[in-house]
Amino acid sequence: MTPEREPVALPLLDDDRAALRADCGNCSGLCCVALTFSKSSDFPVNKDAGKPCGNLAEDFRCGIHRDLRDKGYRGCTVFDCFGAGQRVSQGTFEGRDWRRDPATARQMFEVFPLMRQIHELLWYLTEALTHPQTRPIAADLERVLAETERLAQGSPDAVAGTDVAAHRQVVNLLLLRTSELVRAEHRGQGGAKGGKGGKGGRGGKKRDRRGADLIGARLKGADLKGVDLRGAYLIGADLRDADLRAADLIGVDFRDADLRGADLTGALFLTQSQVNAAKGDERTKLPDALRRPGHWSQD
């Protein structure tokens, strides 16, 4: 990584992540075949990797798409492939699909989860470049973004042979630096208010809660602006009306967390999958790149 330098005049970067959003119409139902799931609160049955889901239609559409949650397939409504499905189907395998070309099936199912990881890294890197505070490391972010895109454009053999874990370590160093730069202005401002695991000294320095166990925490109205919550467990937490602006949310487990009225404007590294797993309402403020889940109005 190059040393920090004085900010330079850079063109405004658009937050263009359209290619990193799932386009099921251009995918051969890979998430419904390549992945495994186990009978649980998220799925009503067991399914082995490489076996098509019983609800997958001949046109690769889900036969119960509108009723997934009612029929126990909650896990499907939470999953997001970051656009890896259409990349593998239309790019890596050039429009071939596992039904018409069974010889490709095994490799296609192997490549898909790796491509999803690569696309997730593309999502984070693209977001990092949208924050003006990252100008000092913009050259490094652009270089690693280009390297990651080259991995995604590889042949089936190349993608299958990619050491994604090693590349993730390189990316993570830049994401950590991004987090530090963006959150710097919020350090030392007040303290988190709330119950379990969330109370901090008023007027004092905010506590970072990286990897913290905040399952079921009472954090209604908590000031978590700019807090490092990387990898925290917020399953079932009460975050109603909480301020999560500029908080680092990479890897946070938001399953059944109550985000009604919460402000996640500018939250760092939040994904659609995390949002889908939580509860929210029309008052919940999300980053512009994310969509309000349809089930929020039904919960």
Q: What percent of the chain has pLDDT over 70?
A: 88
Asked if residue 257 and residue 127 are part of one domain, the reply reads no
Is residue 51, in this structure, part of any structural domain at all?
A: yes
- Cβ–Cβ under 8 Å, residues 109 and 49: yes
- String of DSSP letters for 74-98: HHHHH---TTHHHIIIIIITTT--T
Using an 8 Å Cβ cutoff, are 65 and 59 in contact? no
pLDDT at 3: 37
Q: Which domain holds residue 227?
A: 191-299
Q: Is residue 86 domain-shared with residue 175, that is, in the same domain?
A: yes
Tally the domains of the chain: 2
Q: What is the pLDDT of residue 205?
A: 61
pLDDT digit string, tens, across residues 35-81: 999 999 999 999 999 999 999 999 999 999 989 999 999 999 999 99
Query: Do residues 23 and 98 both lie within one domain?
Result: yes
| pLDDT of 10 strictly over 50 | no
Q: Which residues contact 229 (CB under 8 A, 6 or more apart)?
A: 208, 209, 210, 212, 247, 248, 249, 252
Question: Tokens 């490489």 map to which residue?
Answer: 50
- At residue 221's C-alpha, the angle toward residues 198 and 193, to 5°, is 35
Residue 285 backbone zone (phi > 0: left; psi -120 to 50: alpha; other: beta): beta
Instruction: Evaluate if residue 114 carries a pLDDT over 50.
Output: yes
Q: What DSSP state is assigned to residue 136?
A: G
Choose the final residue of a domain: 183, 217, 241: 183
Residue 5 lies in a domain: no
Instruction: Note whether 206 and 119 are same-domain residues.
Output: no
pLDDT one-digit tens code per residue, 162-212: 999 999 999 999 999 999 999 998 876 554 454 444 444 344 567 789 999
For 233-254, write each residue's pLDDT tens digit.
Answer: 999 999 999 999 999 999 999 9
Contacts of 232 (CB under 8 A, 6+ apart): 209, 210, 211, 212, 213, 214, 252, 253
pLDDT given for residue 299 in this prediction: 59
Among 7-16, 93-102, 218-227, which is the least confidently predicted range? 7-16
This prediction has a pTM of: 0.87
Q: Is residue 13 part of a domain?
A: no
